[in-house]
Amino acid sequence: MAEEEEKERIVIPDEDGNEHLFDILFTFDADESEQSYIVVIPSSDADNEEVEVFAFRYEEEGEGDESDINLFPIESDEEWEMVEEMVNTYSANEME
């Protein structure tokens, strides 16, 4: 039986202030825009075959264990296309 690696997790509050736990699928930096992105799924859905994937642009403040991540919505179609391409590549690699 394969050992399951421990996933990184992040807590993201919703608009009502309720906190939700998400598993981080991956992060990446876009060379052309020099922006960083994070792709997550709800931790409660991690074992389901169909899950809703969320993506954000992010910026880190601080260093090491004291760093905070600020999330920003992805607003442009160009950003969404780039993120979708990265998610599709990630999904294809996971299925191999």
Domain limits, the chain: 9-94
DSSP annotation of 6 reads P
Q: Is residue 55 within 8 Å of 39, Cβ to Cβ?
A: yes
pLDDT of residue 2: 45
Distance between CA atoms of residues 73 and 5, nearest Å? 29
pLDDT of residue 33: 80
- Which residues, given as ranges, of the chain have pLDDT below 70? 1-5, 45-48, 64-65
At 50, which amino acid appears? E
pLDDT of residue 82: 92
pTM of the complete model: 0.81
Element at 77 (helix H, strand E): helix 77-95
pLDDT of residue 21: 95
Q: Is residue 25 within 8 Å of 39, Cβ to Cβ?
A: yes
